[in-house]
Amino acid sequence: MGYLQTQNDKDLPPNRIGCPLSTMVFVSQHVSDSSFTYNYSDRHCSICNLFRMVVHSDLPEADINFQGKHADEELQFYFHQHWIRMLWPLTKLILINALVLSIGYVLFLVLTIEDAAARRLLLTLFTAFFLITNFEFLIRFYRYLLYVIVVTDKKIHRIKKSLFMLDDHQSMDLWMLQDIFKCQHGLIQNILRFGTLILEAQETIIRIHFAPSVSEKYERLMHLREQARGKMGYIGGILKRS
C-alpha cells in the first residue's frame, strides 16, 4: 500500500508547499448572480484550502463580486469604518482580562483557598466571565469587519451584517445624489482624518460615521457623481436632451 501511495503521489501535481495532493475545485462567480463557472485548478491543490475563509482571487478589482451587485456595475472602491471604532472595545477587553487574571492570581496562588468546592466555584465563575468578555469582543470585531461601504460607478452600497441578528443592505444611485456633506468635528477627527459623510437623495439620507480619510472619500464621491450624471445625460446637474 505504501508503494502504491508513493506512485500515486508522483502522478499528482504538487501544491505551493511541495506536497502532492488531490486536485481541488475552485468556484468563481461571474458578473451575473445566477451564473457560475467551475474551474479545475492544478496549482492550488491543497486540501487545507477547503478550510480557508478567504481565497485569493486573480480577478481585477472592477470584477469583484459583492452582495447586491448588478451585472453592469464596476467596483470603484470600498472601505470599513476607521480603526478608532475598535479602540474602546479593545481597551476594555485588555483591562477586563488583566483584572480577571490579577484577581485569579491573588485568590488561587497568593491566598490559597482551602475549600475545594469554593475553588471550583470561583474558577467556574472566572472562566465564564472570561469567555463572555472575549465573545462580546469577537462579536464587536465581526460587526466591524462586516460593515462595508461599497462604491461602484453607479451606486453606493452600505452593507451592515452581524454574525446572526443583522443583515441590512441600503443602496443609492450616484446620479440621484443631491447633496454630499463631510463633517469633521474636534481635534481627534482632524488629526486622524476621519469623520462623517452624509449623502442625500430626494427623501433618502445615508449617514456614514467614522469614515476613514474622509476628505479623499468626499472628493472621489463628488467626481463619481458627476461621471454618473454625465452618463445619464446630466451636465452641471441639468438634463440635456438631444
8-state DSSP, 128: H
Q: 82: burial class by Cβ within 10 Å (0-12, 13-18, 19+)?
A: buried
Measured in degrees and rounded to the nearest 5, phi and psi for residue 137 equal -65, -40
Report H helices in 69-194: 87-105, 116-145, 187-192
CA 64/CA 44 separation, integer angstroms: 20
Structure-block grid coordinates of residue 59: 480577478
Residue 43 has pLDDT above 90, yes or no: no
What average pLDDT does the segment 37-43 reach?
41
What's 2-14 look like in SS3? HHHHHHHHHHCCE
Residue 223 has pLDDT above 70, yes or no: yes
Kindly indicate the confidence band of residue 41, based on its pLDDT and cuts at 50, 70 and 90: very low
Kindly indicate the confidence band of residue 70, based on its pLDDT and cuts at 50, 70 and 90: confident
Q: Which residue has the higher pLDDT, 114 or 237?
A: 114
**Exposure b/e, 87-118, CB count within 10 A at least 16 = b:** eebeeebeebeeeeeeeeeebeeeeeeeeeee
Dihedral, 8, 10, 12, 14 alpha carbons, nearest 10: 140
Structure-block grid coordinates of residue 155: 451606486
Residue with cell 485569493: 56
Query: What CATH code is assigned to 62-81+149-242?
Result: 2.30.29
What average pLDDT does the segment 207-224 reach?
94
Residue 240 has pLDDT above 50, yes or no: yes
E strands, the chain, in order: 24-29, 36-41, 75-79, 148-152, 155-161, 167-173, 179-183, 194-201, 204-212, 234-235, 238-239
CA 210/CA 184 separation, integer angstroms: 10
* pLDDT tens, residue by residue, 163-214: 778 888 988 999 889 999 999 999 999 999 999 999 999 888 999 999 999 9
pLDDT at 67: 66
CA distances from 14 to 10, 44, 45 (A): 9, 9, 7
